[in-house]
Copies of this chain bind each other. A is one copy, B any other.
Amino acid sequence: MRTTVIGVMGPGNGAREIDRHVAKELGSAIASQGWILLTGGRNTGVMEAASQGAKQAGGLTIGILPTATDEGMSEAVDIAIFTDLGSARNNINVLSSHAIVACGMGAGTASEVALALKAKKPVILLNCDRTTQAFFENLSSDNLWIAETVEEAIAILQNALIKG
């Protein structure tokens, strides 16, 4: 049986300190569940922090890079997929994950949450403000959850994956 893959999406260069902090904790918690972490694979922001967290907890990490080569890739990526697709790779991030956690928000992350809702994947919003929560709830309330903490996000994932 294929191991569960959890995608963590979030801002790159525009990530806040709190986004990176929570992403690292989230990456560790995902690895501790025995799940594989999937990110956009770059060496910045939420991608970098989540991948670092997962490695520190002994997990396996996948990075779906927008580039053709490993320039700008996180060193915490174990399995690197080089797409050379730019932002079109965002849809692969979503389709290759059993569920998605958005940790913070930016334009790229918003496209991934929207594509995940379209693909009927479970999506959890973490570190997102009320406007963001309301916008995505209006788009699709069926497969969207709001989490206030990493523990809450993990509990929702456990439930969503049992249901799914």
Residues of A within 8 A of B (CB): 2-3, 36, 62, 64, 68-70, 77-92, 95-96, 105-108, 110-111, 114-115, 117-119, 129, 131-132, 134-135, 138-140
Are B107 and A118 in contact, with the CB atoms below 8 A? yes
Are A80 and B135 in contact, with the CB atoms below 8 A? no
How often does this chain occur in the complex, in copies?
4
Are B118 and A139 in contact, with the CB atoms below 8 A? no
Are B140 and A107 in contact, with the CB atoms below 8 A? yes
Are B81 and A91 in contact, with the CB atoms below 8 A? no
* A95-B107 contact given A3-B78, A135-B132, CB 8 Å threshold: no
Q: Apart from A81-B81, A83-B92, what are 7 other A-B pairs with CB-CB below 8 Å?
A: A2-B77, A3-B78, A81-B92, A83-B88, A84-B87, A84-B92, A88-B91
* A92-B82 contact given A115-B107, A139-B105, A139-B110, CB 8 Å threshold: yes
Q: Whole-angstrom distance between the alpha carbons of A33 and B115 in the complex?
A: 32
> Could you say which of B88, B117, B132 contacts A88, with CB atoms under 8 Å apart?
B88
